[in-house]
Amino acid sequence: MLRLDCLRTIYADLENCLVVTIMGAVAAELQSLGHRPNFFYLQHAMGLASSTGLGLALCLPEQRVIVFDGDGSLLMNLGSLSTMARYRPRKLVHVVFDNESLLSVGGFPTATSTGTDLEGIARAAGIPRVSTVKSVEDFKAAVTDAMRGTELTTIIAKVEAKGPAAFVTDLSLLENRFQFRRHIQSLQNS
């Protein structure tokens, strides 16, 4: 399963969500499908995408928030699972693309390649709904289901360690950040 195919299959459903991604391949691939003002790419600060999604979800409980995390990033901030589980915002969906690798920095294997089980960790942390998916069809079904649901959900998506040739896009970090905030303001004013 390729991450890009996963993103493509749910791209249309992201229109009315607030989307937060981690750095590197995930950000570049989502942008390659077409940037939207409701997408925020956290291009550094590894581990904090899930915390950012939690902050958004706690402050905007009526908004659907979806985080695209990665195994390397989540392993840097496993405590975030316990904090998310503690407050369990009902409309937060946490997707973890697990390619068992730190792809953006040369493909070094992470601990999920030697048996660390992120689904098990998420479940034991208290995330109410957790699943692992290995096909694009199952990915689409799991995300669609989570986005219709009313419980904090973590989906581990096992993907190949393949990504785009380049990670830098022509969207500046600050342009993205200010555009994203303006987008949220426009939702509040409408």
Partner 1 sequence: MPVSLRNSKLIYEALKECDIRLLSALPETWLVHLIRSAEDDPEMVLVRLAKEEEGVGISAGAHLAGVKSAMLMQNHGFLASINGIVSFAHLYKIPLLMLISYRGSFGERDPWQTQGGNVTEPLLRALGIPYSFLDAVETVKKRIRQAQTLAESSLQPVALLLTRDLMWEE
Minimum Å gap between C-beta 187 and partner 1 is: 10
Comparing CB distances to partner 1, the nearer of 30 and 42 is: 42
Minimum Å gap between C-beta 48 and partner 1 is: 3
Token code pair at residue 125 = 């942390």
Tokens 């989307």 belong to which residue? 19
What span, in angstroms and rounded, lies between the C-alpha atoms of 128 and 90? 10
Q: Which residues contact residue 186 at a Cβ distance below 8 angstroms, ignoring those fewer than 6 apart?
A: none
Minimum Å gap between C-beta 183 and partner 1 is: 9
Comparing CB distances to partner 1, the nearer of 126 and 136 is: 126
Token code pair at residue 166 = 């380049």
Comparing CB distances to partner 1, the nearer of 55 and 128 is: 55
| Chain contacts with partner 1 (rule: CB under 8 A) | 20, 40, 42-45, 47-60, 77, 79-80, 82-83, 86-87, 173-174, 177, 180-181, 184-185, 188
Comparing CB distances to partner 1, the nearer of 54 and 130 is: 54
Minimum Å gap between C-beta 138 and partner 1 is: 29
Minimum Å gap between C-beta 87 and partner 1 is: 7
Long-range contacts of 164-171 (CB under 8 A, 24+ apart): 164/4, 164/25, 164/28, 164/29, 164/32, 166/28, 167/23, 167/24, 167/25, 167/27, 167/28, 167/104, 168/28, 169/27, 169/28, 169/31, 171/31, 171/35, 171/41
Contact 93, 143 (CB under 8 A): yes
